[in-house]
Amino acid sequence: MKLKEPILIIGAHVDDGEFGCGGTIARLVEDAHSVAYAVLSPAIQSLQDGMPSDTTEKEMHSASALLGLKWEDCRLYDFPVRLFPFHRQPILELLVELQKEIRPGTVIMPCQYDTHQDHHTIFEEGFRAFKRSATILGYEMPDNMRTFSSAAFVVLQDRHFQVKQKAVNAYKSQKWRGHGAHLRSLAQLRGAQVGAKYAEAFEVIQWII
């Protein structure tokens, strides 16, 4: 794939990147691209009663390893889940620091159609942080959306989809939510649109050539 490096994946919460573009991450790593993954919240407040507070961090360790990412290329921050709109300025400042540190040529983050307040805050502040320097693609999370602009596609082989599925399943603490039920059908739908078995689709927010 011809994406400008380094490539920065941004998730509001642990498991967002795996859901939105886990197959693409697996393919990028396989193709020896430089990939960093930043997650702004461990979503501790969403854990069920009795679960240790480091549960999702450990799950992220496992999921990132399955995707082929080195832990030193991953960053996990501690913004409170569902309250991102109240922390816009610190989030923007963090993203600006990531821009200075990583200098990504491509940023993959939540799309503009995602109605979850945390995801949409990442879209808005992410655009502000990277609009002058990077190609920006938005991934889809259908549970939070009613529409989507599927303008770019990454074709996945069976192995890429299997890695994505395993990475999503690594978040055992989230099983009760029913997450992951549509992974295969969505990948098949996006694949059918471009003549492939599986694919992931992205909104093109900005493309710099």
Percent of the chain residues past pLDDT 90, beyond the cut: 92
* pLDDT at position 88: 98
* pLDDT at position 180: 74
3-state secondary structure of 121: helix
* pLDDT at position 42: 97
Nearest to 3 by CA among 207, 202, 199, 203: 207
Residue 179 has pLDDT above 80, yes or no: no
* pLDDT at position 174: 84
Mean pLDDT over residues 21-42, rounded? 98
Mean pLDDT over residues 170-196, rounded? 89
Mean pLDDT of the chain: 96
Residue 36 has pLDDT above 70, yes or no: yes
* pLDDT at position 2: 78
* pLDDT at position 17: 98
Q: Which two tokens stand for residue 143?
A: 């549970």
Residue 151 has pLDDT above 70, yes or no: yes
E-strand stretches of the chain = 7-13, 35-41, 74-76, 106-110, 135-139, 152-156, 198-206
pLDDT in tens, 74-108: 999 999 999 999 999 999 999 999 999 999 999 99
Residue 60 has pLDDT above 70, yes or no: yes
Residue 1 has pLDDT above 60, yes or no: no
What is the b/e burial string over 103-130, where b = at least 16 CB atoms within 10 angstroms of the residue's CB? ebbbbbbbbebbebebbbbbbbbbbebb
Task: Output the CA–CA distances (angstroms, integers) from residue 97 to 45, 93, 100, 120, in the order listed.
Answer: 26, 6, 5, 20
Residue 157 has pLDDT above 70, yes or no: yes
> Per 3-state DSSP, what percentage of the chain is helix, strand, and coil (rounded to 5)?
45, 20, 35
| All domains of the chain in start order, with CATH | 7-206 (3.40.50.10320)
Distance between start and end Cα atoms, the chain: 14
Q: Which two tokens stand for residue 124?
A: 């808005």
